[in-house]
Amino acid sequence: MWVCRALCRARAPAQLGQRLLPESSWRRPAAAPFSASAEPSRVRALVYGHHGDPAKVVDFMDDPLCSSPLGNYGLLPQLPAVGGNEGVGQVIAVGSSVTGVKPGDWVIPANPGLGTWRTEAVFGEEELITVPSDIPLQSAATLSVNPCTAYRVLMDFERLRPGDSVIQNASNSAVGQAVIQIAAALGLRTINVLRDRPDLQKLTDRLKNLGADHVVTEEELRKPEMRSFFKDVPQPRLALNCVGGKSATELLRHLAPGGTMVTYGGMAKQPVIASVSQLIFKDLKLRGFWLSQWKKDHSPDQFKELILTLCALIRRGQLTAPACSEVPLQDYPCALEASTQPFVSSKQILTM
């Protein structure tokens, strides 16, 4: 459960970045409106008291049902803290002055650092955004970060028209999967780069089923044969980089003159390197994107509009949740371990 201060009380789920409510938990409670003076109940939560390896610092414990200061992605939260930036919850009670949400509403975090790896919480209504309850639970649980990032990087840096190409690395990531689907809905072609792996054909087929036009490996992208590939496929005007290092260098090499590479992640933990000739003679542009900063620069209503735009794509069947594995909250060590394994394309969703 989650709760919204002033106050509203909501049932919630949790995940390593996203979460999901089990169907059995979605019962509208017949409870009196939540009161701040009521005796706090106890909830189960994944809490960390210091920073480090999640497998070593995260504990499963009781947590008081009360409002608490928020941490922020990009900043260190006050410790101890409840983990989790994403998820979907159901409001089960509200205070008398709450007008933005009502019992039964589905809600997602308005900002990062909400601490969603817990069964119940108390939040101010301004900390939550209502989402339609007619979309799949997994889509709602994974909505507030990755699809938003995908939509904004496609829309904010180049004026792309149907038929234009976009190239991206980390194409099997949650953002990458959303980019494929949103681009297809916009009539854009995607060139999707993957690391070579044992299940490459299976993953390639899955991405093409999502709408990917082309799937190539990092090794194939470096080969001279790619020149003939771009005789039949328009050179991309937009590159999306979530890796850095040599992978980012290859994206830049294949960008059309005047094109833009947007970096939104750094999985390789290596710098982005651009040659002088690329900047001078091809006039390539290097940009960065951080959703938290975008939200600081835009109003809450603009973020809500973005969420509703994505919900419309979901309803039309043009945007689905990334591949997910549901893990009961008490089995969180399994989810933590799976999230650190190489070549794992499935999001770990904690259910409760």
Q: List the catalytic residues.
A: 73
Would you call 321 helix, strand, or coil by DSSP? Answer: coil
Cα–Cα dist 198/117, whole Å? 32
Gap between the Cα atoms of 110 and 120, Å rounded: 17
- Token pair, residue 331, equals 């089995």
β-strands 89-94, 260-263: how paired?
A: unpaired
How many other C-beta atoms lie within 10 A of the C-beta of residue 36? 13
Angle subtended at Cα 327 by Cα 123 and Cα 24, rounded to the nearest 5 degrees: 65
Strand 165-168, strand 189-194: pairing:
parallel
What is the spatial distance between Cα 154 and Cα 139, in angstroms, rounded to a whole number? 20
Nearest-CA neighbor of 306 among 107, 155, 180, 90? 155
Is 83 in contact with 19 (CB distance < 8 Å)? Answer: no
Closest Cα to residue 16, out of 324, 304, 342, 343? 324
* CA dist., res. 115 & res. 253, Å (int): 40
Which amino acid appears at position 15 of this protein?
Q
Question: What is the DSSP secondary-structure string of 162-219?
Answer: TT-EEEESSTTSHHHHHHHHHHHHTT-EEEEEE---TTHHHHHHHHHHHT-SEEEEHH
Answer yes or no: are the C-beta atoms of 20 and 138 closer than 8 Å.
yes
